[in-house]
Amino acid sequence: MKVLVPVKRVVDYNVKVRVKSDGTGVDIANVKMSMNPFDEIAVEEAVRLKEKGIATEVIAVSCGVAQCQETLRTAMAIGADRGILVETNEELQPLAVAKLLKALVDKEQPGLVILGKQAIDDDANQTGQMLAALAELPQATFASKVEVAGDKVNVTREVDGGLETLSLSTPAVITTDLRLNEPRYVTLPNIMKAKKKPLDTFKPEELGVDVASRLKTLKVAEPAKRGAGVKVPDVATLVAKLKNEAKVI
């Protein structure tokens, strides 16, 4: 069974992002970029399935600028067998990415597509669901446990009331949550091996996909700075301040 794992290049989660002075977006010039943490979990899960003998091949996919090759090489260092880059300089929105992935699903015919539940840059949480709808595949989102048994996959997912277990027929789409696993540390030998693994590059036009933006960002602004806290001597004073000053009760 092939496993397709989309990975996104985002600003590293340790970096404090800065908004551009004109408010048109986030400044990513000279900023450290890395793989989206949720996608890293997805790669780890796919590699674990391969190590168990369930998956035969793990294919990492990224859509975006040429530098996304670095993200794909990281995925291959974790254990992916090969990479596919859909190269474009256009700003890719979730629907465009889902259409590109749908074209690759049709081409590669994977048994599972495992991807992060959301990217830490736009926090959209849409691509997995859109891909499942476009490809007409069953889906399980926010997975905290994945078990494959024959042509079925059982996914435990986190919901407001606790845990829910779904049984899906393969092929299927799964989006990963934080508690699914802890990605392994990438070693130097594996980084060197990843440089020799095959990486194919396509353009959106070759896949027959229009990636034009459907949404327009009007303005990006930093959240208002929080004021300093105030110590209160007792509960009565706290309640009075919440009622009279904050007006929340």
Considering the entire predicted model, what is its pTM?
0.85
pLDDT of residue 229: 82
What is the rounded CA–CA span in Å between residue 28 and residue 16? 11
Residues 35, 41, 46, 50, CA torsion sign: positive
CB atoms within 10 A of CB 42: 32
d(CA 158, CA 195): 37
**Which pLDDT belongs to residue 25?**
84
Q: Tell me the fold of 2-244.
A: Rossmann fold (3.40.50)
Domain parsing of the chain, residue ranges? 2-244
Please, are residues 239 and 233 in contact by the beta-carbon 8 Å criterion?
Answer: no
> What value does the mean pLDDT take over residues 57-84?
94
Q: Taking a C-beta distance cutoff of 8 angstroms, is the pair 57, 79 a contact?
A: no
For residues 103-138, b (16+ Cβ closer than 10 Å) or e, as one string? bbbeeeebbbbbbbbbbbebeebbbbbbbbebbebb
Structure tokens at 175: 């989006």
Range list of β-strands (E), 78-237: 82-87, 112-116, 139-149, 152-159, 162-169, 172-176, 199-202
Percentage of residues of the chain with pLDDT beyond 90: 73
Q: Does the structure show a pLDDT above 90 at 167? A: yes
Distances (CA, A) of 89 to 56, 65, 98, 180: 32, 5, 17, 32
The pLDDT tens digits of the residues spanning 113-163 come to 999 999 998 899 999 999 999 999 999 999 999 999 888 999 999 888 889
In whole numbers, what is the pLDDT of the chain averaged over residues?
Answer: 92
Average pLDDT over residues 79-97: 93
Tens-place pLDDT, residues 184-217: 999 999 999 999 999 999 999 999 999 988 888 8
Task: Please give the Cα distance from 154 to 225 (Å, whole number).
Answer: 44
Say what the pLDDT of residue 147 is.
93
End-to-end, the C-alpha distance of the chain in Å comes to 56
**pLDDT for position 226:** 81
